[in-house]
A = this chain, B = another copy of it.
Amino acid sequence: MEQPIGVIDSGVGGLTVVHELMRQLPKEPLIYLGDTERCPYGPRTKEEVKQFTWEMVRFLLKKNIKMLVIACNTATAFTIEELQEKLDIPVIGVIKPGARAAIKSTENNYIGVIGTEGTVQSGAYSYALRQIKSDIEVISLACPAFVPMVEKGILDGPEAKQVVETTLVPILEHDQMDTLILGCTHYPLLKDTIQAVAGEKITVISSSEETARETSTTLDIHQIANGDDPMPPHEFYATGDLNIFIEITQKIFKDSNFGVLTIKHADLRHV
């Protein structure tokens, strides 16, 4: 099927999922929508997140998407069950793929999760992990400083390193933790810094890479993969300022050649 896959996020973090989708599924056209104007979702109420997510979903349904990827952990935690129930197309989030990869990776069942306040308070990772494997020990930490930093385009350098180091102290005190889930799609943009601070003994799981992998599985099970398009067109939309969005997009896709990309402003008030 040549229809695009729709990808939504609260801001630019979901672009890490898009990057992996383009790398792992290069024949699939993508439409991305980042709600950069109202980012971050982490500190918002469940009702607000649900309302904003539905606005994004309605925008993408008009673009005739064949599948929806909720590339935002907070939105996944609060809306995925409702979306899976109400939409006619397959819907996947970022939490279960990350949870499954962590279960495959861990050797001692001690798994750490870092994410936004909303994701951590929802307990969505603990629930997903223990639903599959009861004896998983979950240590989690909200890292509210990371998303605003990434949205400003600060992805490396001394400021990023210092913020990551300071923030991760409480979770790195748990010596037994052998696997750490980046439970926010913004965090893979800080992955090198996080891996360096966490040390080699900890396997860092990017929910973005894992979600792309499970998108491939989902397309396969539903038999809706695109057969033959080596350079499909992609469309990226943002609700907020396009300049900073384009700047971050260029940073994330700087070494990539994934086909024709159009970047536009999206107005969700008239959907």
What is the bound-complex CA distance between A135 and B220, given in angstroms?
Answer: 19
Residues from chain B with a CB closer than 8 A to the CB of A225 are 131-132
Q: Known contacts being A220-B96, A230-B134, is A104 close to B213, with CB within 8 Å?
A: yes
**Is A108's CB within 8 Å of the partner chain B?**
no
**Is A203's CB within 8 Å of the partner chain B?**
no
Q: Across the interface, do A26 and B134 meet the contact criterion of CB distance under 8 Å? A: yes
Secondary structure dominating the interface of A:
helix
Q: Across the interface, do A216 and B27 meet the contact criterion of CB distance under 8 Å? A: no
Identical chains bound together, number: 2
| CB nearest to A209 among chain B residues | B104
Residues from chain B with a CB closer than 8 A to the CB of A230 are 134-135
* Interface size, chain A (Cβ < 8 Å): 28
What is the bound-complex CA distance between A213 and B214, given in angstroms?
Answer: 10
Residues from chain B with a CB closer than 8 A to the CB of A176 are none
Q: Known contacts being A104-B209, A209-B104, A221-B221, is A216 close to B132, with CB within 8 Å?
A: yes
**Is A133's CB within 8 Å of the partner chain B?**
yes
Q: Across the interface, do B218 and A24 meet the contact criterion of CB distance under 8 Å? A: no
**Is A30's CB within 8 Å of the partner chain B?**
no
**Is A100's CB within 8 Å of the partner chain B?**
yes
- Chain A positions within 8 Å of B, measured between CB atoms, are 24-27, 90, 96-97, 100-101, 103-104, 131-135, 209, 212-214, 216-218, 220-221, 225, 227, 230
